[in-house]
Copies of this chain bind each other. A is one copy, B any other.
Amino acid sequence: MTGLTIALDAMGGDFGPKVTVPATVQALSYFPSLKVVLVGNKPDITHQLVSLNYNNASRISIVHAESSIGNDISPSQALRSSRGTSMRIALELVADGSVDACISAGNTGALMALSRSLLKLLPGINRPALVSALPTLGCHQSWLLDLGANVSVNADTLFQFAVMGSVLAEAQLGYKPSVGLLNIGEEAIKGNDLVKRCSEMLQQCSVVNYIGYVEGDQLYTGKANVIVCDGFVGNVSLKTSEGVAKLLLGSMNVHIAANPFKKLAAKCLFGDLFNMLNHLNPDQHNGASLLGLHGIVVKSHGRADVSAFQHAIEEAVQEVERQLPKKICDRLEAALLERQY
């Protein structure tokens, strides 16, 4: 790894510097040539660093921010009045080239709006997409996009999501990933016009290893490495998953309450089930990436603990090393060229 620098919105998330600072210190020990710019309230950050006995000023620098963006701020409010906030300053550092990437556990809508406004879209991209890894059965790895950044898209945009997801997955997997479109059936006649049009485009595109439609019950089977849908469907699907996990655990509690053997059995399994539930919680998917921008932005969930936030830092480091924005540009250019001929 050559030297790289990441800006952290140290104030974002439910726990602010109490999580972001220890996670940074731990990540620095894993990545010897990493440098971090912590953006936020300087006294609070310094206090955390002192309590951790960390004093290597050559690897951590602090940029003071007067305020942070609350969770109740709408994207348009964030665009209008976020000057001087820790999230905005961290993104500005990416925009002016001072750092290689930025991470925030703050307000997702604000982060997406500000990222798009400050970093600008890559050529050929209509909309940025939010992507995250999915838990799957077996050894397959899967990613789902878009997860809520775009509630209504056209077939071109969905096609671009497929290309971007494919690049992200390939960088991680080391081989050309399979890409599927989320639909209500596997047959060609199924689905709405949007999905059908995008499917035709992908069928004619050799740049993406398109395998056809994927149904909701195949999301977690690893049938496709990359599953593409609009942000409305992606968000509902992921949140429904969380709801089901809660329902199953909740009804298990109800069913077993009367039976002491079952109660004991449930106690024995609760930790495993609880971990699986958390794994399905969309807010808990740590290190969701915003793709399609001139710059790397990773969204950590708001309730991330130190180890989860560290995972988000790792995700950002990997994306910098893999030069994800450049790869997306190249791949999209190849796909568009192919469509011209």
**A246 with B220: CB separation less than 8 A:** yes
Cβ of A162 under 8 Å from chain B: no
Minimum CB–CB distance for A250 against chain B, Å: 5
- Closest chain B residue to A150, Cβ basis: B192
- Name which of A21-29, A57-65, A230-238 contacts chain B: A230-238
Question: For residue A279, which residue of chain B has the nearest CB?
Answer: B251
CB of A96 closer than 8 Å to a CB of B: no
29 A/B residue pairs, CB under 8 Å, sorted by A: A136-B247, A137-B246, A137-B251, A151-B184, A151-B191, A151-B192, A152-B193, A184-B235, A184-B239, A191-B232, A192-B232, A216-B236, A216-B237, A216-B242, A217-B240, A217-B246, A219-B243, A220-B244, A229-B236, A237-B237, A241-B244, A244-B244, A248-B248, A248-B273, A248-B276, A262-B268, A262-B272, A265-B268, A269-B269
Beyond contacts A262-B269, A269-B269: 11 other A-B pairs, Cβ-Cβ < 8 A, are: A135-B251, A148-B184, A151-B184, A184-B231, A216-B238, A229-B236, A233-B236, A244-B248, A247-B276, A248-B273, A251-B272
Restricting to A34-84, which residues have a CB under 8 Å from any CB of B?
A: 74
B192 touches A217 (CB 8 A): no
Q: Chain B contacts of A237 at CB under 8 A?
A: 216, 236-237, 240
- Other-chain contact of A216, B151, B217, B235, B250 (Cβ < 8 Å): B235
A175 interfacial by beta-carbon distance below 8 Å: no
Which A residues form the contact surface with B (CB < 8 A)?
74, 135-137, 148, 151-152, 182, 184, 187, 189, 191-193, 215-221, 229, 231-233, 235-248, 250-252, 254-256, 261-262, 264-266, 268-269, 272-273, 276, 280
Q: Which of B135, B242, B261 contacts A217 (CB 8 A)?
A: B242
Q: Which residues of B contact A136 (CB under 8 A)?
A: 247
Judging by beta carbons under 8 Å apart, are A216 and B239 in contact? yes
- Contact of B184 with A236 in the complex, beta carbons under 8 Å: yes
B232 lies within 8 A of A184 (CB): yes
Which of chain B's residues have a CB closer than 8 A to the CB of A220?
243-244, 246-247
Residues of B contacting A189 with CB < 8 Å? 74
Contact of B243 with A221 in the complex, beta carbons under 8 Å: yes
A2 to chain B, nearest CB (A): 38
Cα distance A235–B221 in the bound complex, in angstroms: 18
Q: Are B217 and A239 in contact (CB under 8 A)?
A: yes
In the complex, the answer to whether A272 meets B256 with C-beta atoms within 8 Å is yes
Q: How far is the CA of A242 from the CA of B276 in the complex (A)?
A: 15
